[in-house]
Amino acid sequence: MVRQAYAPLPPSYVPNTTLSATINLDEEVKLAESRAERDLQESLAELFSIIVTLDELEKAFLKDAVPEADYTDICERSLMQYNSILKDETVAQAFGSLDAFKQEWGLEVPRATERIRAGMPSTALIAGSGGGGGGGSGGGSGGGGGGAGGGGGGGGGSYGSGGGGGGGGGSNGPNDGGNVPSGALILEATQDFITFLDALRLGLLAKDQLHPLLTDVIHAVNKVTDRDFENRGKIVQWLITLNQMKASDVLDEDQARELELDINSAYQGFKSTLT
């Protein structure tokens, strides 16, 4: 038997010179046919990135690998970006639901799922964290050096643990070394409670009207005290409920009545911590 010097080509292989000549290897492959389609793909990619980032951030925070103030700031910014992107109706329609998006792209992100559904950092939702509301509305309310608890870590005279760069050490809560919360912070929290309850009584029942006001309430409360109090959990539950609604969704009459009762009860519980 005569041996061939090379392996023979498969008998079915026939070079297609016509097809080879029509493919330009230097030509850029377009992933989108229009600018609108490209913008949509970029928005979905941003959402994917935010979800993964939030999951890794939660893992790092649980391991004490990230400072509380940094965690709060990054988490709040990520959630704000997530919600901002989904305000675009085209993006929201393509995104569908969080569960559907995770299934489509094979995402296993239980911690990010919990955080997105809550709509706030865990430091703002859990009493005793001492860092609630840090990166949000508490950034610059302190000016002088007379704020109680100002000796905590970081920004000398700034109010609350969320102000300046102070981290979690400067809490003004009444259980923080026996310090009494400043009158300005108590007044702010009281005003936020009253503003929210007034909004309900005026018939402002849409998610995009109530959620920001209730967020202000929990931020203000956390600046005054990190102690748990009666019906504080009701604030958290309603924040989660509102966060899972669409921006245009409106509470019905029964829900509005229950919400008013719960927040008013939480307000009374908050006042009891000040005596």
Distance CA 37, CA 258 (A): 44
Average pLDDT over residues 41-65: 96
Using pLDDT thresholds of 50, 70 and 90, give the confidence band for residue 273: confident
Q: What's the topology of domain 140-275? A: Four Helix Bundle (Hemerythrin (Met), subunit A) (1.20.120)
**C-alpha 182 chain-centroid distance:** 28
Average pLDDT over residues 246-271: 93
Write the pLDDT tens digit of every residue in 113-155.
999 998 889 888 776 554 444 333 333 333 333 333 333 333 3
Query: Is pLDDT larger for residue 30 or for residue 252?
Result: 252
In this prediction, residue 199 carries a pLDDT of: 95
Query: Is pLDDT larger for residue 178 or for residue 226?
Result: 226
Average pLDDT over residues 57-71: 94
Query: Is pLDDT larger for residue 73 or for residue 182?
Result: 73
CB-side neighbour CA atoms (13 Å) of 131: 22
Using pLDDT thresholds of 50, 70 and 90, give the confidence band for residue 247: confident
Query: In Å, what is the CA distance from 221 to each residue of 73, 74, 109, 190, 195?
Result: 18, 21, 30, 9, 14
Among residues 211, 152, 153, the alpha carbon closest in space to that of 182 is found at 152
| Structural contact between residues 161 and 177, judged by C-beta atoms closer than 8 angstroms | no
Tokens of 48: 């994917």
The residue ranges of every structural domain in the chain are 35-119, 140-275
Q: Is 206 helix (H, G, I), strand (E, B) or coil?
A: strand
In this prediction, residue 56 carries a pLDDT of: 97
Contacts of 129 (CB under 8 A, 6+ apart): 68, 122, 123, 168, 222, 226
DSSP-derived secondary structure for 118-184 = HTS-HHHHSTT-S-TTTTTTTTT---SS--TTTTSSS-TT-STTTSTT-TTTT---TTSTTPPPPHH
> How many other CB atoms are found less than 10 A from the CB of residue 95?
19
In this prediction, residue 153 carries a pLDDT of: 38
Query: Is pLDDT larger for residue 142 or for residue 244?
Result: 244
Say if residue 24's pLDDT is above 50. yes
**C-alpha 83 chain-centroid distance:** 8
Distance CA 95, CA 104 (A): 10
In this prediction, residue 28 carries a pLDDT of: 72
Signed CA dihedral, 201, 203, 205, 210: sign only: negative
CA dihedral 103, 104, 106, 109 (to 10 degrees): -50
Using pLDDT thresholds of 50, 70 and 90, give the confidence band for residue 14: low
CATH H-level, domain 35-119: superfamily: Vps28 N-terminal domain (1.20.1440.200)
Say if residue 165's pLDDT is above 90. no
Average pLDDT over residues 29-34: 71
Q: How far separated are the first and last CA of the chain, in Å rounded?
A: 105
Say if residue 171's pLDDT is above 50. no
Write the pLDDT tens digit of every residue in 215-236.
999 989 988 888 888 889 899 9
Max Cα-Cα span within the chain: 105
In this prediction, residue 223 carries a pLDDT of: 87
Among residues 42, 55, 54, 53, the alpha carbon closest in space to that of 91 is found at 42
Least confident of 21-25, 50-54, 134-138, 254-258: 134-138
